[in-house]
Amino acid sequence: MLIGISAQLSPELLHALASMGHGDELVIADANFPAAKLARRLVQTTSESTTRLARAMLMLLPLDEFVVAPLALMQAARPQDQNAPALADLSAALAGFGKVEQIERNAFYERAAQAFVIVATSDARPYANVILRKGVIAQGGTGYVA
């Protein structure tokens, strides 16, 4: 254990975060996501909440300030899924970190297949998937300052 580091972040996950470069993307995926099939690099977690895991990561990972939307959610594929609890939960939790875009399901899968790492969770909620795009860590260890 480390002081100030969420228990949600395993040593393997911390290594993946530290290994990412500016512009690299990380996918946090729900239990139904085809993570093993799509991943170049896969990190399995026991986290039951994509939302809690994303918030823990965002305490350590600066987001890319050179793109319009450094965060992306999978868009609901069917009209009856528009109000999926995971989408509302993630949208609210991520709102303070940067612009969040919604990506069509198949386009999300294609983008995920190009990600630096996919982090698989045990979150059973449909649409509990998010992409984070890493930014620059400025001198002194904080996010990029213009």
**Options 15, 30, 89, 109, the catalytic residue:** 109
Phi-psi region of 115 (alpha: psi -120 to 50; beta: other; left: phi over 0): beta
**Options 24, 30, 64, 123, the catalytic residue:** 64
Q: Can 24 be counted among the known catalytic residues?
A: no
Q: Can 64 be counted among the known catalytic residues?
A: yes
Using alpha carbons, select from 123, 127, 65, 47 the residue that is nearest to residue 91.
127
Q: Can 144 be counted among the known catalytic residues?
A: no
CB 146 within 8 A of CB 62: no
- Phi, psi at 103, each rounded to 5°: -115, 135
Catalytically annotated residues? 22, 64, 109
